């Protein structure tokens, strides 16, 4: 069963993520001071890095919306990939690296944690707030598709801003869950090393998730094609036209969030007049943009297949 279309915008996703990060930073810094917990320090670092990353995403989203000009005739859509890469790099360096390092120091030199009950309460609240923010980006990525296809959608979606916000909120949620488990075990056993161990685990998980975003942003920066599913949809829409004998070549390129460049070469039926060919080219372009709305730029070339 398909979920309803929620029409959640990228701006709403990033804004909610930003506000959650602000609350995380303020609350977790305060809890770090009164508890001395390495886990809460990791949470504060995660919130701070997420806050900075969300800010960079907002900058990138605004810059990518600039109108095309002579120097950039296809617009600035791909600039969002650069800012996403920078935001992920910041998150990897600050959050993952520092969380692991500080956790290791606390593991080797354990100290008691004060006000443990307050720490547990804040972690529970953090799970809820980050989980809500994550649900927004999840629903935007999913759109009208069924839930079972979310993994495929996540891997191939060009909504890099939403994907990054999703990963940032997933980081916050997972970090809070790991922190809650670690601090609860510490409370039950009195073993002070669980505070540092929890911080190290958080660092490792954040590193893995951030590396994925770095790779996704790098692929889109270099020039990533549409998914096989999208390309097959394009091929089908063109092959359904009786005047098209063969698709010789199809190339696609993500030009920004939800914007696809399509370059297709086709071989047509013989004996078509010039006017008929012009009308057919328009029909091919219309067919592609109808079946694949993100195909904003469609180039159609007429070629004779090699013998």
Q: Are residues 170 and 279 in the same domain?
A: no
pLDDT at residue 3 in the model: 43
Residue 278 belongs to domain with CATH number: 3.30.70.1350
Q: Are residues 105 and 56 in the same domain?
A: yes
Higher pLDDT among residues 145 and 302, named by residue: 302
Find out whether 195 and 186 touch, Cβ atoms under 8 Å: yes
CA distance 192 to 178: 15
Where does the pLDDT of residue 286 fall: very low under 50, low under 70, confident under 90, or very high at 90 and above?
very high
Decide the pairing of beta strands 295-302 and 259-268: parallel
pTM of the entire predicted model: 0.69
Total tally of structural domains belonging to the chain = 2
Q: Are residues 35 and 56 in the same domain?
A: yes
Domain of residue 269, residue span: 228-302
Find out whether 170 and 179 touch, Cβ atoms under 8 Å: no
CA distance 302 to 273: 13
Find out whether 44 and 29 touch, Cβ atoms under 8 Å: yes
> Cβ neighbours of residue 129 under 8 Å, at least 6 residues apart?
20, 23, 24
Q: Are residues 150 and 115 in the same domain?
A: yes
Q: Are residues 88 and 24 in the same domain?
A: yes
In a domain, 256, yes or no: yes
**Among 126, 263, 262, CA closest to 202:** 126
Read off the pLDDT of each residue in 149-155 and give the average, rounded to a whole number. Answer: 63
In a domain, 3, yes or no: no
pLDDT at 116 over 80: yes
In a domain, 5, yes or no: no
Q: Are residues 26 and 140 in the same domain?
A: yes
**Among 103, 122, 115, 93, CA closest to 26:** 122
CA distance 225 to 126: 37
Q: Are residues 17 and 82 in the same domain?
A: yes
Highest-scoring range by mean pLDDT, 28-42, 87-101, 116-130: 116-130
In a domain, 1, yes or no: no
Q: Are residues 128 and 252 in the same domain?
A: no
User: Which residue among 204, 222, 240 closes a domain?
Assistant: 222
pLDDT at residue 145 in the model: 57
Find out whether 277 and 302 touch, Cβ atoms under 8 Å: yes
The structure tokens listed for 270 are 């013989």
The answer for 90, left when phi > 0, alpha when psi is -120 to 50, beta otherwise, is alpha
């Amino acid at each position: 069963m398909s979920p309803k279309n929620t029409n959640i915008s990228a701006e709403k996703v990033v804004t909610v993520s930003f506000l959650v990060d602000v609350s995380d930073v303020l609350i977790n810094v305060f809890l770090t001071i009164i508890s001395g917990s390495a886990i809460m320090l990791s949470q504060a670092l995660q919130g701070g890095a997420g806050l900075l990353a969300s800010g960079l995403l907002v900058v990138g989203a605004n810059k990518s919306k600039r109108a095309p000009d002579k120097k950039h005739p296809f617009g600035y859509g791909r600039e969002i990939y650069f800012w996403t890469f920078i935001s992920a790099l910041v998150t990897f360096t600050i959050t993952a690296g520092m969380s692991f390092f500080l956790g290791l120091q606390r593991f080797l030199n354990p100290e008691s944690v004060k006000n443990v009950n307050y720490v547990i309460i804040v972690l529970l609240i953090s799970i809820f707030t980050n989980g809500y923010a994550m649900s927004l980006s999840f629903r935007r990525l999913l759109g009208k598709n069924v839930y079972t296809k979310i993994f495929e959608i996540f891997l191939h979606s060009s909504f890099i801003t939403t994907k990054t916000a999703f990963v940032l909120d997933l980081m916050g949620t997972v970090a809070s869950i790991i922190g809650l488990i670690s601090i609860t075990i510490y409370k039950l056993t009195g073993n002070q090393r669980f505070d540092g161990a929890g911080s190290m685990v958080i660092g490792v998980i954040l590193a893995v998730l951030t590396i994925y975003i770095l790779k996704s942003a790098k692929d889109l920066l270099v020039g990533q094609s549409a998914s096989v599913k999208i390309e097959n949809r394009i091929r089908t829409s063109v092959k359904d036209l009786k005047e098209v004998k063969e698709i010789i070549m199809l190339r696609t390129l993500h030009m920004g969030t939800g914007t696809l460049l399509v370059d297709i070469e086709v071989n047509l039926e013989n004996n078509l007049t010039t006017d008929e060919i012009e009308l057919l080219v328009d029909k091919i372009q219309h067919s592609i943009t109808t079946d694949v709305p993100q195909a904003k730029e469609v180039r159609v070339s007429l070629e004779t297949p090699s013998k």
